[in-house]
Structure 1
Amino acid sequence: MIVVNMAMKQDDVIAILEANGYKFVEKKGIRLFFEVAGDLAAKATEAKTLIKAQPWGMALYFNVEVVK
């Protein structure tokens, strides 16, 4: 499972990641939890890249982490 920690644009991030095969599980405050298959570290890096590729992505403060 990976977690995206961000305060803004949460709905947009959920939509982008779900469109790319990530399964949204739950939201706890600023934490968005996603289930993914495969290498978790690689998927976390991919999620970060997908978010930064958006026109608004570079302006956001966020991080992506792997949780078990």
Structure 2
Amino acid sequence: MLSIISPMQQDAIKQLLQDYKEEDVQFTFKEKQGIKMLFEASVENEAVVKKVKELIKTQPWGSVLMVQVTIV
């Protein structure tokens, strides 16, 4: 399970990951706990954590976000 902590753009992050269908990785939103969102990923490793951060930071709104992505 991936934990993504971001106080802003939560809906945009959720949509971005649910729409992502490349590199044999898929994300399924599970639940929201305050500013934390939990996603199930078809692959869970440090490369996927890095990919999620990269995906968020390459968005027009993502370069200024404070975001934390971890495996839980």
TM-score scaled by length of structure 1 = 0.92
Q: Distance in 2 between matches of 1:9 and 1:38?
A: 24
Q: Distance in 1 between matches of 2:41 and 2:54?
A: 15
Task: Give the length in aligned residue pairs.
Answer: 67
1:64 lines up with 2:69 in the alignment: yes
Aligned to 1:26: 31
Alignment gaps of 5+ in structure 1 = none
Q: Distance in 1 between matches of 2:3 and 2:44?
A: 14
Aligned to 2:5: 5
Q: Distance in 2 between matches of 1:10 and 1:39?
A: 21
Q: Distance in 1 between matches of 2:57 and 2:5?
A: 14
Deviation string, structure 1 residues 18-48 (Cα, Å, up to 9, x no partner)? 1112100000000010001224222111111
Alignment gaps of 5+ in structure 2 = 21-25
RMSD over aligned CA atoms reads 0.9
User: Segments of 4+ in structure 1 off by > 6 A?
Assistant: none
Q: Distance in 1 between matches of 2:12 and 2:71?
A: 20
Aligned-residue identity in percent: 36
Q: Distance in 1 between matches of 2:36 and 2:60?
A: 22
TM-score scaled by length of structure 2 = 0.87
